Amino acid sequence: MKRRDFLKGCLIGGAAASLGAPSKSWAVGSFEGYPDAMGVLVDTTRCIGCRSCEAACNKEQKLPEPDVPFDDTSVFEEKRRTTEKAYTVVNRYETNDGQKPPYRKMQCNHCNEPGCLTSCFVNAYTKTKEGAVIYNGNVCVGCKTCMVACPFNIPAYSYSSAFDPLIKKCIFCYHTRLKFGKPPACVEICPQEALTFGLRSDLIKMGHERIRETPDRYIDHIYGEKEMGGTSWLYLSRVPDDQIGLDTTLGNEPVISNVKDFLGMVPMVLTIWPALFSGIHLLATRNKDHGDEHHNHSEQEDGKK
């Protein structure tokens, strides 16, 4: 009786284990990004805050009319973030070096190892070989974990929609442009050539080249080259990055590195726990009759045996 129950217990434990089996983490190495991944180099020293990139994005992605027209500079009074109506925004930052205040364009940075992608339990996100992080709204459940997981606070959610709320974020104009090798709308329209589209690897070289040629113009750092495991969008700046609203405390590890500890533990629990606890059960009830039976039923069971 006892042995049969034990075997059954093991079987069920095994079944439970196999249910959990697909959840074993993919081994996450240090992924450096696809070799042909495209990117954009944002030279914030060239940006004049004309907001034409915002307008181009609005038109390309067929977003709703903005609350404030795109030629209105009063929006710079406060710091804005990406929303369901604006996949990219430009902010102005005050510095105390007496020079003109820098502007910085903000949108999805298209990480090499995106936090949103790794946190999504229905695999709604894809990092394409062209470098874009795109989103499939047809499977999205709306758990909003990707918004928690994004270190740059980019994904927005259409909270106002009752029946089809979705994540809204920059997709690198993937479906209309990037797929065909064309630069995104914002890059194409930029009058200052503050945005440069190209292979990510080339852009990194170009960025370092600019820093080398005109060291007075830039700090010696390309934000996004290594941050959070590297991003497709890269930033050059005249002032330290944190002064233009870039988070410099994030470190160079992608989001998933923080989660690896837990994911690595999962198969251990799945395989060790059944044996461990069945073993403890056998030890704990060794000297008792039918320890796994309830008191009030032990006589019946005995009778049957």
Partner 1 sequence: MKKLIASGAITVNSPQKSSDRKWTFMEKLFLGLTLPQYIGQALRNPFNWIIAIIFAVGIPIILGRFIFGLSWVTHSSNDYPWGLFLAFGLFGMVPLSSSGFLLGTACEVFGRHDLEPIERLGLLNGLLGYFFAVVFLLIDLGQPWRLPFPMVVSFGPAAVLFLVAWHVSTYLSVQIAEVSVSFFEWIGFPIGVRAIRKITLGLTVSGIILSTLHQGALGALFTYAPGKVHPLWYSSSFQWIHFFVSSIPGGLCMVITVSTIASKTMSWRFDQRFKDSLDRVTVSLAKGASMGLATYLTIKLMSIAHDNKWAYLTTGYGQWYLVEIMIGVIIPMTLFAYAIHHKKLPIIRFSALLVVLGIFLNRLNTALITFNWKLSEREIPHWREVAICVTVYTIYIVVYRFILYRLPIFYQWKTQEQYALAYAAKPETTILKDTEPALVFASKTEAKAFRNAETITS
Residue 296 binds to partner 1 (criterion: CB under 8 A): yes
Site stretch for partner 1 (CB under 8 A), options 95-103, 184-192, 196-204, 255-263 = 255-263
**Which long-range contacts link 163-168 to residues 24+ away (Cβ below 8 Å)?**
164/137, 166/135, 166/137, 166/140, 166/142, 167/124, 167/135, 167/137, 167/140, 168/83, 168/84, 168/85, 168/87
Residue 73 binds to partner 1 (criterion: CB under 8 A): no
Q: How far is the CB of 135 from partner 1 (least distance, A)?
A: 12
Residue closer to partner 1 (CB basis): 211 or 259: 259
Q: How far is the CB of 291 from partner 1 (least distance, A)?
A: 4
Q: How far is the CB of 110 from partner 1 (least distance, A)?
A: 18
User: From the list 96, 294, 303, 305, which residue makes contact with partner 1 (rule: CB under 8 A)?
Assistant: 294
C-alpha of 79 from chain center? 22
- Residue count at the site for partner 1 (CB under 8 A)? 84
Site stretch for partner 1 (CB under 8 A), options 100-108, 197-205, 233-241, 245-253 = 245-253
Q: Confirm if 110 and 102 have CB atoms less than 8 A apart.
A: no
Residue 121 binds to partner 1 (criterion: CB under 8 A): yes
Q: Confirm if 219 and 237 have CB atoms less than 8 A apart.
A: yes
Residue 292 binds to partner 1 (criterion: CB under 8 A): yes
- Letter string b/e over residues 164-184, b meaning 16 or more CB atoms within 10 A of that residue's CB: ebbbbbbbbbbeebbeeeebb
Q: x/- site string to partner 1, residues 84 to 113, per CB under 8 A?
A: x-----------------------------
Q: Confirm if 234 and 221 have CB atoms less than 8 A apart.
A: no
Residue 289 binds to partner 1 (criterion: CB under 8 A): no
Q: Which of residues 132-151 bind partner 1 (CB under 8 A)?
A: 139-145, 147-149, 151
Query: Tokens standing for 112?
Result: 């090499």
Residue 291 binds to partner 1 (criterion: CB under 8 A): yes
Cα 134–27–141 angle (5° rounding)?
40
Q: Which of residues 258-277 bind partner 1 (CB under 8 A)?
A: 258-259, 261-263, 265-266, 269-270, 273-274, 277
Residue 224 binds to partner 1 (criterion: CB under 8 A): no
Residue closer to partner 1 (CB basis): 178 or 246: 246
Query: Tokens standing for 139?
Result: 């499977």
User: From the list 59, 122, 175, 191, which residue makes contact with partner 1 (rule: CB under 8 A)?
Assistant: 122
The per-residue DSSP string of 55-116 comes to: HHHHHHTTPPPPSS-TT-GGGGGS-----SS-S-EEEE---SSSSPPPEEEE----BSS-HH
The per-residue DSSP string of 242-274 comes to: GGGT--TTS-SS-HHHHHHHHHHHHHHHHHHHH
Q: Which of residues 164-183 bind partner 1 (CB under 8 A)?
A: 164-166
User: From the list 64, 94, 96, 162, which residue makes contact with partner 1 (rule: CB under 8 A)?
Assistant: 162
Residue 62 binds to partner 1 (criterion: CB under 8 A): no
